[in-house]
Amino acid sequence: MFVAATMILANVREQTQRTGPYIKSDRMTLGYCLDADKKTAEQWSAYGFPYLVVWRQKCIEVDTGKVIHDHFKYPSLYSMSALNLAISLAILFVVWLICEWFIHRRATLTTV
């Protein structure tokens, strides 16, 4: 149960990375996030483990914390979700085998 809860938590927990602050002179390197004359920062959030399934990109004004842009991206949503599910099931299967091995080992030691 603990392994299953850990796998669920790893897949639904938001992983966040913030870059910046940037000013208007950096516009050429960062793209859409710098359409204002104010200091802005990009914040990337991602969901999924071990492969990221959903990305969220925010452009935030540094001084006020106001969100200027907010985009979600779903690159290969179904294939990455299926791969994450397969890896999670494989981990659960290995943990189940190890636990069953310990139970069998303990049962044989106590009957001898």
Give the pLDDT confidence score for residue 29 in this predicted structure: 46
Q: How far is CA 83 from CA 45, 70, 72, in A?
A: 20, 27, 20
How many domains does one find in the chain?
1
Hey, CA dihedral for 75, 81, 86, 88, is it positive or negative? positive
43-84 pLDDT per residue, tens: 778 888 888 888 887 877 777 778 877 878 777 788 888 998
Residues paired with residue 72 on neighbouring β-strands, in sequence order: 56
pLDDT band at 97 (very low <50, low <70, confident <90, very high): very high
pTM, two decimals, is: 0.62
- Domain of residue 82: give its range: 2-111
Longest dimension (CA), the chain: 79
Quote the CA–CA distance of 62 and 71 in Å, as a whole number.
18
Q: Take residue 13 and report the two structure tokens written for it.
A: 């927990």
Q: Comparing C-alpha atoms, which of 13, 30, 10 is closest to residue 21?
A: 30
